């Protein structure tokens, strides 16, 4: 079956953060929204059908997640990543961001340090600071167009007593798919100092051609024992509104601490449609996903080619995963707010401004390319016109 990603679908007025908060966030509504990380594509038809089928029953009382829900998660990760998840280690969370916050509360004390590696998805920072914990910053190194971990600095922070590391694997916003060796390098340092690894793998299924995702928990039994992994069908199949994700914790001591906190908050009921959507996506969504990735690669190629031909002052960092393109705009010589103003008010585009991702983000913009190619083309032409007007 061929899936169509070309059809623009109107999302305005559907309670969409990306569309319906434009006025509030950018000060105007007539911009192309290329910010929040969700897609302008319908999910696989099997997912929509599963939701419709369940809605057809009409009674929407309290629900349980049946065995098929867990089996589909286990099968998906075994087939794609050779990861044998123990059924007993899967916990439910209404989202990955809530899970990061729960991990902070469950595994650290006020005043403890938690390591983050910016530029990185900004809720990593608030999951630390909102709870009176301290940020230990290990900025990624950037050279020759490629981001790398700074293992020396990581070791220093571990030696200084950090308790936990928030890892984005693959990394939002820089698009790296960390290699097995890179992951082993940081995991071994964490193990040496007893630092717990929270591996946010929400983007793992959106790995682009030529790259391979490695779940941190597959590196070794010892590493799995101090890793908490967050996965979800939400980015992969565009189901963020379903608020359904899984937290995988092999170590029974850590799992009990996490589970008792999340249970005490009474937030594990989940929602009935999220369960059906997750089962259908993981069981029947693979072919759709393969085609989606090809489509996203086409969009990434288009923008990369467009910049090198028409806007060489903007240098996209080639992503290895995700539909988020990290644009190096430093040659434009603008501050973050000037850049944002240029994109919003001159080009009519709503992107994420780089400095919101922390140290190393200044001078960059994050562009969401999960939208029909016709919209991407329109956006790039608006950007070019804005440059010509200056």
Ligand X SMILES: Cc1ncc(COP(=O)(O)O)c(C=O)c1O
Q: Contact positions toward ligand X, by CB under 6 A? A: 37, 95-97, 121, 168, 172, 200, 202, 232, 234, 240, 245
* Residue number, 131 or 378, with CB nearest to ligand X: 131
Closest separation in Å from C-beta 250 to ligand X: 20
* Residue number, 246 or 307, with CB nearest to ligand X: 246
Closest separation in Å from C-beta 131 to ligand X: 16
Residue nearest to ligand X (CB): 95
What are the respective helix, strand and coil percentages of the chain, to the nearest 5? 45, 15, 40
Residue with tokens 């007539």: 30
Closest separation in Å from C-beta 281 to ligand X: 14
SS3 163: coil
The CA distance from 120 to 324, in Å, is 12
First-to-last C-alpha distance (Å) of the chain? 46
SS3 231: strand
Q: How many residues does the chain have?
A: 390
* Residue number, 244 or 348, with CB nearest to ligand X: 244
Token readout for 9 is 């679908």
Closest separation in Å from C-beta 170 to ligand X: 8
Closest separation in Å from C-beta 346 to ligand X: 26
The CA distance from 124 to 121, in Å, is 6
The CA distance from 12 to 167, in Å, is 34
* Residue number, 198 or 349, with CB nearest to ligand X: 198
Closest separation in Å from C-beta 243 to ligand X: 7
* Residue number, 90 or 311, with CB nearest to ligand X: 90
* Residue number, 243 or 332, with CB nearest to ligand X: 243
Token readout for 333 is 């010589």
The CA distance from 296 to 294, in Å, is 6
């Amino acid at each position: 079956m061929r899936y169509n990603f070309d059809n623009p679908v109107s999302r305005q007025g559907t309670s969409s953060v990306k569309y319906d908060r434009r006025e509030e966030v950018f000060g105007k509504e007539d911009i192309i929204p290329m910010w929040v990380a969700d897609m302008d594509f319908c999910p696989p038809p099997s997912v929509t059908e599963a939701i419709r089928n369940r809605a057809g029953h009409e009674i929407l009382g309290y629900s349980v997640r049946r065995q098929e829900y867990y089996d589909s998660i286990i099968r998906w990760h075994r087939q794609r990543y050779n990861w044998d998840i123990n059924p007993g280690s899967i916990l439910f969370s209404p989202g990955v961001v809530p899970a990061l916050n729960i991990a902070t509360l469950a595994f650290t004390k006020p005043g403890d340090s938690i390591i983050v590696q910016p530029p990185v998805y900004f809720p990593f920072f608030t999951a630390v600071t909102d709870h009176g914990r301290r940020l230990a910053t290990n900025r990624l190194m950037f050279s020759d167009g490629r981001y790398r971990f700074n293992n020396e600095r990581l070791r220093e922070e571990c030696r200084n007593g950090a308790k936990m590391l928030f890892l984005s694997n693959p990394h939002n916003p820089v698009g790296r798919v960390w290699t097995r060796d890179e992951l082993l390098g940081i995991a071994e340092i964490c193990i040496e100092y007893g630092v717990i690894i929270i591996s946010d793998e929400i983007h793992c299924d959106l790995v682009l051609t030529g790259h391979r995702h490695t779940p941190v928990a597959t590196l070794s039994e010892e590493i799995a024992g101090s890793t908490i992994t967050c996965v979800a069908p939400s980015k992969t199949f565009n189901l963020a509104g379903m608020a359904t994700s899984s937290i995988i914790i092999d170590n029974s001591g850590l799992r009990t601490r996490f589970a008792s906190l999340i249970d005490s908050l009474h937030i594990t009921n989940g929602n009935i449609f999220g369960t059906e959507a997750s089962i259908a996506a993981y069981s029947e969504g693979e072919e759709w996903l393969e085609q989606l990735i090809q489509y996203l690669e086409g969009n990434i190629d288009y923008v990369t080619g467009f910049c090198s031909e028409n806007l060489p002052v903007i240098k996209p960092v080639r992503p290895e995963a995700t539909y988020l393109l990290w644009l190096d705009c430093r040659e434009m010589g603008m501050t973050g707010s000037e850049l944002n103003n240029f994109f919003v008010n001159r080009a009519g585009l709503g992107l994420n401004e780089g400095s919101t991702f922390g140290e190393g983000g200044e001078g960059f913009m994050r562009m969401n390319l999960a939208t029909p190619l016709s919209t991407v083309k329109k956006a790039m032409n608006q950007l070019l016109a804005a440059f010509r007007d200056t």
